[in-house]
Structure formats: C-alpha cells, structure tokens
Amino acid sequence: MPKFETIKGVLFDLDGVITDTSVYHEQAWHALADQLQIDWQPQFAEQLKGVSREASLAVLLNATGHPDAYSAEQKAQFATEKNDRYLALLQQLSPASIAPGMTAFLTELKAQDYRIGLASASKNAPFVLERLGLSDYFQARVDPTTLHKGKPDPEIFSRCAELLGLQPAECLGIEDAQAGIQAINASGAVSVGIGAKDVLAAAQIRFETTAELTLANIRQQLK
Ligand code: BG6
Ligand code: MG
C-alpha cells in the first residue's frame, strides 16, 4: 500500500458514491425487466453497478437464455426506455441528494490542493453533477463514450489520472461497485470501497458510508 503522502488526487465514481442514484438505475432496470417478462434476480443489483447502459442490458437479456432474439433496433429501444425512466427519477435530484459527508470531503480535498476527477460510466453524469450543484469541484471528467472498455477494465481510472496529470499510483479511486473496485485495483490506484465488506472484499480501504470519508480516516487506513 502506498504512503498517504504519495496521494495527490482522488478519482470518484458517481452513482452510489457521490449520490444514491444507483437505486434509481436499479428501479429503471427492474421496470424494464418486468416489461420484458424477465425474472428480476436479487444478484442483478450488484452485477449492474458500474456497468454501462449497453452492457447492463446485455446482462438482463442474457438471463432470458435467448439474447439474440432481439434485433439491434429493439435493443436500442430498450436502452432508451430504461434511460427515459431513469431520467424521470432524476427529476427529484437536488443538492439535498448529495451523499452524507460528501460536500465536506470535496471541500477538504480542494482546500488541500488535491486534484479531483470523475470516473463515472454514466452518460448522464454531467446532468447529475449539475443537479447536485457539484460540477465545479471536478478538474477532469472522463467522457465514457470515448472508452474502449468499461469497468472492470482499468481504462476509465487510468484515463482519469492522466487527465489530472497524475500516475494512477498517486490517486485514490472511490467506488461502491465490485466492477469499479476491480478496475481501480487493475489501474494501480488505491481502491476505497464504500459499502458492505462481503460485497467489497477486494477494496484496499473500505468505509461503510461516505460519512466516514475524511483525509484523517484515509491516512489512518494507509498506515
Ligand atoms: C454507472 C452506474 O455509474 O453508470 C450503472 O453504476 C449505469 O448502473 C452506468 O448503468 C451507465 O449509466 P447511464 O446513465 O449512461 O445509463
Ligand atoms: Mg457506482
């Protein structure tokens, strides 16, 4: 584990870390599954976290056992329907939806000159940050449409570090998803998991909730 002093930047996941939009993603996928008469399996919730819209749809359609029964046009239509439902749920988003302790943590990072980047797979990320009023904290954001591979591939975190002018090893990556923690570990950044131990066993550092995210608590765990 690198020393706390080598850390110069923080790479943030968005959904499920900065705000609890992961529950809205889940609700919107669940509704699509019901519409397509696909049995919603409890493990879908964790499997779909951090995974792109298209890859998430593939997970659902694979569960039918005949994913090729749908044309490319139908698949595009399903992805649009899911996104429309998700966007409708986002209407309730406001600064009150920021995860506990997150504004204080971002403020602390900024005050201490850490570089701050966004490594979200979501094409809706700019809209979500805007609704939360947090856009100005982020010096760099990866555009997920430019990626060759999604999480668990490390590309998004390597790119985010590069955009900040840092090596991944100089960064913390913060994630709530298994695929995200795998991606951070593979990039060489230090993985910080937010959530339950059984789900995020691969995280190098872990906190139950964002309320515990402070530089002092991170320093403690990096010893
Ligand atoms: C990730 C979410 O942040 O973004 C996934 O964890 C989601 O659940 C993915 O599928 C893509 O989001 P969007 O907004 O582009 O459909
Ligand atoms: Mg997430």
Q: Whose CA is nearest to atom 6 of ligand 1?
A: 50
Name the residue at shortest CA distance from atom 14 of ligand 1: 122
β-pair partners for 175: 193
pLDDT higher than threshold 90 for residue 127? yes
**Is residue 13 flagged as an active site residue?**
yes
Place of tokens 């890859």: 55
The answer, yes or no, to whether any atom of ligand 1 lies below 6 A from the CB of 53, is yes
Quote the pTM value. Answer: 0.97
In degrees rounded to 5, what are phi and psi of residue 153? -65, 145
Band of residue 2 on the pLDDT scale cut at 50, 70, 90: confident
The percent of residues above 70 in pLDDT, for the chain, comes to: 100
Collect contacts of 183-188 with beta carbons under 8 A, ≥24 apart.
Answer: 183/50, 183/151, 183/152, 183/153, 183/154, 183/155, 183/156, 183/157, 184/11, 184/154, 184/157, 186/152, 186/153, 186/154, 187/154, 187/157, 187/158, 187/161, 188/154, 188/158
**Ligand 1 neighbourhood includes 46 CB (under 6 angstroms):** no
69: which residues sit within 8 A by CB, 6+ positions away? Answer: none
Closest ligand to Cα 44: 1
What is the model's pLDDT at position 130? Answer: 98
Sign of CA dihedral 49, 56, 163, 138: negative
Return the pLDDT at 82.
98
The mean pLDDT value for 103-119 works out to 98
Whether 56 lines ligand 1, by a CB cut-off of 6 Å, is: yes
Nearest CA to ligand 1 atom 1: 50
pLDDT-derived band at 223, boundaries 50, 70, 90: confident
Percentage of the chain modeled with pLDDT above 90: 96
- Fill in the amino acid letter for 127: F
Q: Are 98 and 208 in contact (CB under 8 A)?
A: no
**Helices 22-35/72-90 angle, 10° precision:** 140
Contact 181, 153 (CB under 8 A): no
Distance 196 CA to ligand 2 centre (A): 13
170, 192 contact by CB (below 8 A)? no
Give yes or no: 198 in active site: no
**CA–CA gap between residue 53 and residue 47 (Å, rounded):** 12
